[in-house]
């Protein structure tokens, strides 16, 4: 209890049905006169994108759209966006979409002010202090999925496509200035994305709660975040038009990303390299490995999980919680193992070697080494 830790919490958030209508006022408050919208490829011609464009254009704010965002964004996506950003005279970013678009939007606003390469700002040590903080563009984040919580994060995940490695890029000023969480934008989210992103939110809360360290504020947020997922994810999956369930899942996503400043762990340490090598959906990959990781960490987290089970009204303690995760994944049609999403045994040693040096590995309750991580991957396969 004598160590000193730093606690930081999120930004300005508008949440509720119809909150998208406040975008023009927020742009004006931030003195954004010409925003660049950064969005996912599949949203460029979507009805919800048209709603955003109409709202902005009706306020006489010019805009342009950049949609070359891969599901796992790469430095090539970043370079393409920077060319448009630097040549277009834009003075702010509206990041609109899932975690990929939000991450890339934040990275574009940050990197437009930098002379060093993006990899110089990997979340290692004090790399963030190398940044030029002048002329970083303000970002407004508008999530259209409920999972990553990137809208309240100070980092973005970027894939080095040549070396097939996911890296976390961090700077405090990457935190969006404003967030709009309008559940109307998530009503038509496909079932598989509702499931995968929802499990991502749950994984963030779970790993933050289980991570060692003293952060009771993060623990409390993580607990209520998991309760919101338990009470709303299946309903949002079955009945996508339930706006209350959708809004509660947006809240859970915000809470997971707020809580995980305490730390993440092996779920993400495995998922990041798997996603980099196989281009899998991040939240779905988290869900696949979740049960095995909890069991792997059992000796270090059993007391916490048993208290969590009581809070979530799950019977039979640790075993009951494991059974709950298995049933949840089954009801969401999550693939049963890594083989079902294309992972091959011949890549497991590579993935293990990447996992143990992933920035999230250090937050795992049980120390990861090459051998125990390889064995864990084999169990997940």
CB neighbour list of residue 242: distance below 8 Å, 6 or more residues apart: 235, 236
pTM: 0.93
Q: Could you give the maximum distance between any two Cα atoms of the chain, in Å?
A: 60
Instruction: Among 152, 186, 220, identify where a domain stops.
Output: 186
Instruction: Among 186, 221, 243, identify where a domain stops.
Output: 186
Length of the chain as a residue count = 381
Task: Specify whether 160 is located in the same domain as 201.
Answer: no
- DSSP string covering 226-243, please? HHHHHHHHHHHHH-TT-H
Tens digits of residue pLDDT in 335-348: 999 999 999 999 99
C-beta of residue 330 within 8 angstroms of C-beta of residue 290: no
Alpha-carbon distance of 13 to 116, in angstroms, equals 31
Q: How many domains does the chain have?
A: 2
Q: Which domain holds residue 56?
A: 12-186
Determine which helix (DSSP H) or strand (DSSP E) holds 108, and give its type and residue range.
helix 99-111
- Residue 82: CATH number of its domain: 3.40.50.1970
Q: Is residue 175 part of a domain?
A: yes
What is the predicted pLDDT for the residue at 8?
58
Alpha-carbon distance of 197 to 6, in angstroms, equals 28
Tens digits of residue pLDDT in 243-296: 999 999 999 999 999 999 899 999 999 999 999 999 999 999 999 999 999 999
What is the predicted pLDDT for the residue at 58?
85
Helices (H), strands (E): how many in the chain? 13, 8
Q: Kindly report the average pLDDT of the chain as a whole number.
A: 94
Instruction: Among 171, 186, 201, identify where a domain stops.
Output: 186
Count of beta carbons in the 10 Å neighbourhood of residue 189 = 23
Q: Is the dihedral of CA 231, 232, 238, 241 positive or negative?
A: positive
Task: Specify whether 209 is located in the same domain as 172.
Answer: no
């Amino acid at each position: 209890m004598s160590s000193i830790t730093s606690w930081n919490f999120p930004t300005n958030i508008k949440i509720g049905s119809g909150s998208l209508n406040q975008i023009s006022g927020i742009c004006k408050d931030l003195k954004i006169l010409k925003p660049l919208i950064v969005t996912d490829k599949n949203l460029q011609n979507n009805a919800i994108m048209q709603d955003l464009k109409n709202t902005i254009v009706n306020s006489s704010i010019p805009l342009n759209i950049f949609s070359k965002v891969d599901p796992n964004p790469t430095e090539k996506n970043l370079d393409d966006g920077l060319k448009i950003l630097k040549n277009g005279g834009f003075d702010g970013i509206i990041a609109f979409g899932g975690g990929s678009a939000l991450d890339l939007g934040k990275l574009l606003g940050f990197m437009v002010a930098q002379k060093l390469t993006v990899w110089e700002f990997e979340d290692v040590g004090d790399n963030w202090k190398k940044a030029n903080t002048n002329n970083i563009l303000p970002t407004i984040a508008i999530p259209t999925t409920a999972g990553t919580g990137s809208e309240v994060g100070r980092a973005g995940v970027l894939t080095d496509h040549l070396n097939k490695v996911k890296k976390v890029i961090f700077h405090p000023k990457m935190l969006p200035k404003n967030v709009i969480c309008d559940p109307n934008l998530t009503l038509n989210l496909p079932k598989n994305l509702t499931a995968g992103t929802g499990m991502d939110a749950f994984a963030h809360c779970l790993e933050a709660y289980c991570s060692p360290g003293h952060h009771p504020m993060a623990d409390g947020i993580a607990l209520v975040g998991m309760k919101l997922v338990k009470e709303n994810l299946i309903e949002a999956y079955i009945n996508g038009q339930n706006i209350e369930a959708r809004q509660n899942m947006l809240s859970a996503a915000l809470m997971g990303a707020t809580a995980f400043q305490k730390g993440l762990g092996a779920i993400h340490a495995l998922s990041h390299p798997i996603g980099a090598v196989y281009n899998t959906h991040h939240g779905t990959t988290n869900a696949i490995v979740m049960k095995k990781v909890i069991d792997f960490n059992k000796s270090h987290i059993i007391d916490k999980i048993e208290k969590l089970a009581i809070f979530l009204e799950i019977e039979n303690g640790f075993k009951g919680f494991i059974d709950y995760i298995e049933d949840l994944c089954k009801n969401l049609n999550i693939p049963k193992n890594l083989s079902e999403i294309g992972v091959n045994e011949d890549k497991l040693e590579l993935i293990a070697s990447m996992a143990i040096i992933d920035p999230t590995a250090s937050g795992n309750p049980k120390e990861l080494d090459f051998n125990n991580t390889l064995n864990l991957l084999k169990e997940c396969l």
